[in-house]
């Protein structure tokens, strides 16, 4: 029996011979009932040890390819249906072309924190300390609701930073806010019920909601947030998705009149409000806006995330759920991924408890505030009296209204050709046209001063005078 | 205006006053148009600084509760619809009663690794090294398919340990194998198509599949695994879920004849096979059983997990996907949770690359093998000639057939009263009764020698002679 043995391979000798014999059986070179050489013969023939030969045969007997017959040695098993498809071939391992990492591009996108400021040293030190002190059980399966220490730390953090008082039992840890939104949508998705979302809105998040089977209807948002006057005639609502602290992308704050209308609408129609509070930590004037949740904890589901305030890579977020939904949620989360990664949860709990999170947010806020100020100064320099800022001074982006400029596809492309990416507000609109042609979203959180300057210069040049 | 100020609270002065005034507005103590004391007055009245008073008013003006009227000072806004539901009260924060942590209980469950052997020092050292050397972008959003370094490390590991050759581009990192199964079920779930699963099977995993809307039919498994003879008449199949290397819970290996039938069935019916390879690393005799995947990579989806070989807490698993499903999978994963926690992925990639994973598996295998041997010795001592072991010597549990003992609900309860938990195979059966009344699953991976001894003694005592 001829079997080629290669020495420069990662496969063991046993494995190589096994693969070759199996190939012969599958391809029909060796047929049912056919006798194989004895292990003594095979070892001589191939110049391998008798043990290796024995190991191969035993393995193939265990798997049923071969049979050991008393007196007649080892034979190919009967009933091996001929394989009609070719055995897999070794594919070339080549890295996929990843997304554009061209560092020359100035991308005015929103929502990317200043990644270079991630507190690596403090974080890994804490992670090490925490992991070395955990009880053994912590390395096993954990509660689908999340690590208790983190839920408690978040409850205290919410009280300090947002004035939200809530029971940690209502705090569910999710793998980022996207998972929170996805699970809630799955939970609340019902036939003949619809989901209302703000328009404009984050297109990705609408897809998250739609991908769970929800039927979406939009409600326009303006400089006071979601227009609740347009809700009155709406019935059969499962939930309303809104960003009341900083409308995405417009940046408006939901007015208190509308807040009260909205929570009452939820009570009257027995539906839920999802309050996505994605960036209210970074408010550069005054205190954070109070939450909708406080006004109606039975009908408001609050979503928070650590992607913007710490890092998207750690995938940690949370939701505050009404008591009524807790059990169904827990079951769903359990069947989705059992629970969110636990060691990172323990580390974050400690990061919050020791006050490091708030210290970090404070540092980031100063950084973003400087970037924002720089962007405003550069805009004033390049477009004196030619623009206006919409929305409130919060978050990682601003919306800029340019007098006398319409952001056509052609203009956006021309800028992209010069390595500047901008985001017209019209891209965030669903269906019906609203009057946002002169407005773009401009993220500043992740950009350097020189890039902000250069990007706005190019914007100026391309727009012309 | 009377506002009680507490000193021993976590809330800032500003926040306390804000909450009290808001409460008066919402409860109607202060009504629309009503004038508030000037900030000078308020500061005197409450003994607070003028700045604090100003801060509260500015905040409430920003949120729309109050309005500043030139000449007439600060008034309560009009149009504040009266809130019809009470403001949330501070709930008591009390830890939920967690699952039974009574250390006196001897639980013969399956699937819990020896958590005390988790390589804490090595793991945290690697995590720290890796995190400190990552490029900044690694702290941002990552590829929904997973961290490239980990996908490459897994491809090499699979080749070394399982003889599986595959392109890393086909390896998708999931948050544990449960998420892998859940996402695939969602992807392949189609109206008028059914999912075939082995019977007996893991009840939790069946629920994962069913929770995505799949309609499940069962196919009996015996001492050669899934009985593929019963497949022939079946049509309209979306996928078949199977554990060919170590049938769960029976422990049988899918025979080669059935392997070939199964992959041909998939080709002929254009359906998929999900190969759940949950514990084949821990095979105590011979080499690991070859994968179904190798026989038909276009129709077999291979699921692997690091829960059993490292820790369930880190929630890392992976799936090998046919080319055809890659794009849809990526979209679905993106809308589910964007991606799996990335820093842990980088750490695991390094853990594999440096050979530490295989060293750890080797250590665990010796540990489990000793536990298994001890359990067999204790069973022989307590039940000489009274039992038989089913299935192959693999994994974290064995199935024991006791001659002349039927594991009734009463018997299981009696044992539980004596702090011993056992798992009759009948609990893993769906619908139709098969003859497994004398059999129980006995996990040994997480138990100490004394507990194995004691548990089997109690089993002996309760069963009687």
Residue B212 pLDDT: 94
- What is the nearest CA distance from A257 to chain B, expressed in angstroms? 5
Nearest to A301 by CA among A396, A185, A157, A222: A185
Instruction: Report the pLDDT averaged over residues A406-431.
Output: 93
Q: Which helix (H) or strand (E) holds B239?
A: strand B237-242
Instruction: Name which of B27, B32, B251, B287 to mutate to probe chain A: the one with the most chain A Cβ atoms within 10 A of its Cβ.
Output: B287
Beta strand spans in A200-316 (E): 215-222, 225-226, 237-242, 272-276, 300-305
Looking at the predicted structure, is the pLDDT value of residue B434 above 60? Answer: yes
CB-CB neighbors (< 8 A) of A187 in chain B: none
Task: Supply the mean pLDDT for chain B.
Answer: 89
Which of A118, A178, A286 has the CB atom closest to B62's CB atom?
A286
Residue A428 pLDDT: 93
Which residue would you say has higher pLDDT here, B171 or A86? B171
pLDDT in tens, B258-272: 999 999 999 999 999
Looking at the predicted structure, is the pLDDT value of residue B14 above 90? Answer: no
DSSP string, B241-259: EE-TTS-TTT-PPPPHHHH
pLDDT in tens, B166-201: 999 999 999 999 999 999 999 999 888 999 999 999
Least reliable range by pLDDT among A42-46, A217-221, A317-321 = A42-46
Q: Exposed, middle or buried: residue B39 (CB in 10 Å: 0-12, 13-18, 19+)? A: buried
Instruction: Report the pLDDT averaged over residues B83-95.
Output: 38
Is cis: bond before A292, omega within 30 of 0?
no
What confidence tier does B12 reach under pLDDT thresholds 50, 70, 90? confident
Interatomic CA distance for residues A183 and A239, integer angstroms: 13
Q: Which residues contact B201 (CB under 8 A, 6 or more apart)?
A: B218, B221, B241, B248, B428, B430
- What is the nearest CA distance from B406 to chain A, expressed in angstroms? 31
Percent of chain A with pLDDT over 70: 93
For chain A, counts of helices (H) and of strands (E):
13, 16
Looking at the predicted structure, is the pLDDT value of residue A38 above 70? Answer: yes
The answer to whether A146 and A179 have CB atoms below 8 angstroms apart is no
Which residue would you say has higher pLDDT here, A80 or A233? A233
Identify the sign of the CA torsion A201, A205, A211, A214: negative
This complex has an ipTM of: 0.84
Least reliable range by pLDDT among A248-257, A305-314, B66-75, B342-351 = B66-75
Looking at the predicted structure, is the pLDDT value of residue B342 above 70? Answer: yes
Q: Exposed, middle or buried: residue A322 (CB in 10 Å: 0-12, 13-18, 19+)? A: middle
Residue B103 pLDDT: 67
Residue B192 DSSP one-character state: T
Interatomic CA distance for residues B56 and B339, integer angstroms: 41
CB-CB neighbors (< 8 A) of A337 in chain B: 174-176, 178-179, 182, 315, 337
Looking at the predicted structure, is the pLDDT value of residue A375 above 90? Answer: yes
What confidence tier does A3 reach under pLDDT thresholds 50, 70, 90? confident
Residue B90 pLDDT: 31
Interatomic CA distance for residues B93 and B91, integer angstroms: 6
Which residue would you say has higher pLDDT here, B182 or B463? B182
What confidence tier does B39 reach under pLDDT thresholds 50, 70, 90? confident
Q: Which helix (H) or strand (E) holds B183?
A: helix B176-188
Q: Which helix (H) or strand (E) holds A76?
A: strand A73-76
- What is the nearest CA distance from B120 to chain A, expressed in angstroms? 6
Residue A96 pLDDT: 44
Instruction: Name which of A119, A147, A335 to mutate to probe chain B: the one with the most chain B Cβ atoms within 10 A of its Cβ.
Output: A335
CB contact under 8 A, B341 and A344: yes
Instruction: Report the pLDDT averaged over residues B51-77.
Output: 83
pLDDT in tens, A105-128: 999 999 899 999 999 999 999 999
Residue B63 pLDDT: 75
pLDDT in tens, B215-258: 999 999 999 999 999 998 888 999 999 999 999 999 999 988 99
The two three-digit tokens of residue A401, written as one number: 């209204």
DSSP string, A33-46: TPBPPPHHHHHHHH
What confidence tier does B120 reach under pLDDT thresholds 50, 70, 90? very high
The two three-digit tokens of residue B388, written as one number: 């038989």
CB contact under 8 A, A116 and B136: yes
The CB-side HSE value for A409 (13 A sphere, CA atoms) comes to: 0
CB contact under 8 A, A139 and B80: no
Q: Which residues contact B408 (CB under 8 A, 6 or more apart)?
A: none
Looking at the predicted structure, is the pLDDT value of residue A270 above 50? Answer: yes
Residue B87 pLDDT: 39
What confidence tier does A465 reach under pLDDT thresholds 50, 70, 90? low
Identify the sign of the CA torsion A451, A454, A460, A463: negative
Residue A257 main-chain phi, psi, to 5 deg: -60, -45
**CB count in 10 Å sphere of residue A454:** 16
Instruction: Report the pLDDT averaged over residues A302-314.
Output: 96
What confidence tier does B461 reach under pLDDT thresholds 50, 70, 90? very high
Residue with tokens 């990682």: A396
CB-CB neighbors (< 8 A) of A91 in chain B: 165-167, 170
Q: Burial code of B372-407, b = ≥16 C-beta within 10 A, e = fewer?
A: bebbbebbeebbeebbebbbbbbbbbbbbbbeebeb
Nearest to A364 by CA among A122, A111, A118: A118
Looking at the predicted structure, is the pLDDT value of residue A88 above 50? Answer: no
Q: Would you say the pTM of this structure is higher than 0.95?
A: no
Q: Residue B388: beta bridge partners?
A: B401
The two three-digit tokens of residue B329, written as one number: 């999978």
Residue A85 pLDDT: 41
Residue B336 pLDDT: 97
For chain B, counts of helices (H) and of strands (E):
13, 16
Residue B89 pLDDT: 33
Interatomic CA distance for residues A74 and A68, integer angstroms: 5
CB-CB neighbors (< 8 A) of B101 in chain A: 137
Task: Supply the mean pLDDT for chain A.
Answer: 89
Looking at the predicted structure, is the pLDDT value of residue B432 above 70? Answer: no
Residue of A nearest to B16 (CA): A163
For A153, A377, B384, B398, B444, the CA distances from B388, given in Å and listed in that order, are 51, 81, 10, 10, 16
Q: Which residues contact B68 (CB under 8 A, 6 or more apart)?
A: B57, B61, B74
Residue B8 pLDDT: 67
Instruction: Name which of B212, B336, B396 to mutate to probe chain A: the one with the most chain A Cβ atoms within 10 A of its Cβ.
Output: B336
3 state DSSP class of A171 = strand
pLDDT in tens, B271-330: 999 999 998 889 887 666 789 999 999 999 999 999 999 999 999 999 999 999 999 999
Looking at the predicted structure, is the pLDDT value of residue A92 above 50? Answer: no
Instruction: Report the pLDDT averaged over residues A287-294.
Output: 82
Interatomic CA distance for residues B277 and B358, integer angstroms: 17
Q: Are strands A225-226 and B439-443 parallel, antiparallel or unpaired?
A: unpaired
Residue with tokens 């020896």: B114
Residue A100 pLDDT: 45
Residue B328 DSSP one-character state: H
Q: Which residues contact A370 (CB under 8 A, 6 or more apart)?
A: none
CB contact under 8 A, A208 and B96: no
Interatomic CA distance for residues A135 and A149, integer angstroms: 13
Distance linking the first and last C-alpha atoms of chain A = 82
CB-CB neighbors (< 8 A) of B148 in chain A: 95-96, 98
DSSP string, B347-383: HHHHHHHTTHHHHHHHHHHHHHHHHHHHHHHHHHHHS
pLDDT in tens, A381-390: 999 989 999 9
Identify the sign of the CA torsion A10, A14, A16, A22: negative
The answer to whether A309 and A367 have CB atoms below 8 angstroms apart is no
The two three-digit tokens of residue A332, written as one number: 């769903």
Q: Classify residue B402 as left (phi > 0), alpha (psi -120 to 50) or beta.
A: beta
- What is the nearest CA distance from A371 to chain B, expressed in angstroms? 18
What confidence tier does A99 reach under pLDDT thresholds 50, 70, 90? very low
Q: Give ∠ CA B7-B8-B9 in degrees, rounded to 5.
A: 100
CB-CB neighbors (< 8 A) of A316 in chain B: 341
CB contact under 8 A, B315 and A340: yes
Residue B237 DSSP one-character state: E
CB-CB neighbors (< 8 A) of B113 in chain A: 140
Residue A287 pLDDT: 63
Residue A384 DSSP one-character state: T
Residue B58 pLDDT: 82
Identify the sign of the CA torsion B407, B411, B413, B416: negative
Interatomic CA distance for residues B198 and B224, integer angstroms: 12
The answer to whether A315 and B340 have CB atoms below 8 angstroms apart is yes
Q: How many CB pairs under 8 A join A and B?
A: 325
């Amino acid at each position: 029996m001829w079997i080629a043995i290669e020495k420069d391979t990662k496969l063991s000798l046993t494995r190589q011979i096994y693969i070759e014999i199996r190939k012969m059986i599958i391809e029909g070179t060796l047929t049912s009932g056919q006798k194989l050489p004895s292990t003594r013969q095979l070892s001589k023939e191939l110049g391998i040890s008798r043990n290796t030969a024995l190991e191969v045969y035993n393995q193939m007997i265990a798997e049923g390819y071969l049979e050991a017959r008393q007196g007649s040695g080892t034979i190919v098993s009967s009933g091996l249906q001929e394989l009609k498809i070719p055995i897999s071939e070794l594919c070339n391992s080549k890295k996929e072309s990843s997304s554009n990492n061209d560092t020359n591009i100035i991308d005015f996108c929103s929502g990317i924190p200043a990644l270079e400021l991630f507190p690596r040293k403090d974080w890994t030190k804490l992670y090490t300390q925490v992991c070395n002190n955990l009880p053994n059980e912590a390395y096993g399966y954990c509660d689908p609701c999340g690590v208790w220490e983190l839920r408690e730390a978040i409850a205290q953090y919410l009280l300090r930073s947002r004035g939200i008082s809530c029971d940690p039992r209502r705090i569910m840890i999710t793998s980022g806010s996207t998972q929170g939104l996805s699970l809630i949508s799955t939970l609340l998705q019902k036939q003949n019920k619809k989901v209302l979302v703000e328009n404009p809105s984050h297109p990705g998040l609408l897809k998250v909601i739609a991908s769970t089977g929800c039927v979406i209807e939009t409600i326009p948002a303006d400089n006071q947030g979601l227009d609740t006057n347009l809700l009155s005639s709406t019935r059969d609502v499962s939930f309303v998705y809104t960003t009341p602290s900083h409308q995405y992308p417009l940046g408006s704050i939901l007015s208190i009149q509308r807040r009260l209308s909205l929570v009452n609408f939820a009570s009257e129609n027995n539906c839920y409000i999802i309050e996505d509070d994605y960036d209210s930590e970074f408010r550069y004037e005054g205190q954070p806006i109070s939450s909708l949740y406080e006004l109606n904890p039975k009908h408001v589901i609050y979503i928070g995330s650590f992607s913007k305030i710490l890092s998207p890579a750690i995938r940690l977020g949370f939701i505050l759920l009404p008591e009524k939904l807790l059990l169904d949620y827990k079951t769903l989360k359990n069947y989705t991924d059992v629970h969110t990664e636990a060691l990172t949860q323990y580390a974050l709990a400690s990061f919050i408890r020791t006050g490091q999170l708030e210290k970090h947010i404070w540092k980031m806020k100063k950084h973003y505030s400087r970037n924002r100020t720089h962007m405003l100064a550069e805009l004033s320099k390049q477009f004196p009296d030619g623009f206006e800022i919409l929305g409130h001074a919060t978050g990682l982006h601003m919306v800029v209204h340019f007098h006398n400029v319409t952001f056509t596809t052609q203009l956006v492309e021309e800028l992209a050709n010069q390595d500047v990416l901008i985001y017209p507000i019209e891209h965030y609109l669903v269906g019906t046209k609203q009057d946002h042609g002169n407005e773009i979203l401009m993220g500043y959180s992740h950009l350097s001063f020189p890039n902000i300057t250069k990007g706005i210069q190019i914007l100026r040049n391309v727009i012309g005078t």
